[in-house]
Amino acid sequence: MKRSLIIVLGLLLISITGIFAQDPNSALDLVYTHDPVFLGITAGYNRVMHSVTLPSSDLNATLCPKFQNGSSNGYWLGLTFEQFFGKVEESNQSLIFRALYSTYPSYMEVGGDEYPTQMRISNAQGETIDQKIVWTSVMNTYTVKYDVASLEISYKIKPIEGLNLGLTVTPTFDYVLKKTYDQRFELVTPTNAQFNIADSILTKNHFTLTNNNRTVIISQGDIPNAASFRIGLKVGLQYEINIPGGFYVVPAVYYNFGITNVVSNNDWRVSALQIGVDIRKPIRF
């Protein structure tokens, strides 16, 4: 019985030793080095496009068309992490994770036509001394601030062997941090004129005069019926450049298409052409 037990224990010890000898990830293999983790920062430019048609609330709605398809410039900043499939030196596929702060603003304007308008001429004391008809031009503006915190998961593949060119497909999940708007009615010409709007009209419509009475703030605040989340899909092209110090720089261009709507009661999507760079460094634990 003792001899059988010794034989069994001996065979078990040989088997375990063989397993550890074949497994490079074994805790007993003290000379094995794990593949590095690639961590870094990312930043870039957003050319933002808001695809939408918005109704306007104006002093004279018949003279103001709807706002359509705004655009503006934004940016992103964040952290990035890359996990390769298989050994790093042989892999042509990876997953790239990014945590970002991104801005997707928009600006829309309509108007600019000239109209004959009765102009009151006043003295220094504000007394009317004359009236005449002049040609005036106005501008209606709609400014949107739309900031998000994003989590992105990219699948990257290098389609050409030996070339550090990568194609990426990225679902992006955005939590909306800021979703505000500001609509204004502005007097463009003549430059020496001001709006003359009765206080009762301003109070009734909740308008505010600003810019030396040349601009009427029609409405501002949080976008009504705005969603708290945005989901988008990015496709991109990137190129990896190794630089001294173990870093590698990855310039890239993406198109970020908005899948979900900004609001629940209108077809309003936010998309962007994005140009930026990731800077990563391999770190071994």
The percent helix, strand, coil of the chain (3-state, each to 5) is 10, 60, 30
Q: Do 175 and 227 share a structural domain?
A: yes
Q: Do 94 and 22 share a structural domain?
A: no
Q: Do 142 and 108 share a structural domain?
A: yes
Number of Cβ within 10 Å of residue 122's Cβ equals: 12
Q: Do 40 and 25 share a structural domain?
A: no
Q: Enter the pTM of the model.
A: 0.81
The distance in angstroms from the start CA to the end CA of the chain is: 47
Q: Do 160 and 71 share a structural domain?
A: yes
Report the C-alpha gap between 203 and 217 in whole angstroms. 12
Q: The domain containing residue 75 runs over which residues?
A: 35-283
List, in order, residues 6 or more apart from 34 with CB less than 8 Å away. Answer: 25, 284, 285
Q: Do 9 and 131 share a structural domain?
A: no
DSSP 8-state secondary structure symbol assigned to residue 228 = S
Q: Do 241 and 104 share a structural domain?
A: yes
- Work out the angle at residue 239's Cα, subtended by the Cα atoms of residues 233 and 242, and round it to the nearest 5 degrees: 135
DSSP 8-state secondary structure symbol assigned to residue 37 = E
pLDDT value of position 57: 60
Q: Do 9 and 141 share a structural domain?
A: no
Q: Do 115 and 12 share a structural domain?
A: no
Give, for all 285 residues of the chain, the pLDDT tens digit. Answer: 444 434 434 443 444 344 334 444 444 444 444 677 889 999 999 999 999 998 776 444 444 578 999 999 999 999 999 998 888 777 889 999 999 999 999 999 988 778 787 777 776 666 666 678 888 888 899 999 999 999 999 999 998 887 889 999 999 999 999 999 999 989 988 888 888 888 888 888 888 999 988 999 998 999 999 999 999 999 999 999 988 877 889 999 999 999 999 999 999 999 999 999 999 998 876
Tally of domains in the chain: 2
Q: Do 85 and 28 share a structural domain?
A: no
Q: Do 261 and 156 share a structural domain?
A: yes
Q: Do 135 and 8 share a structural domain?
A: no
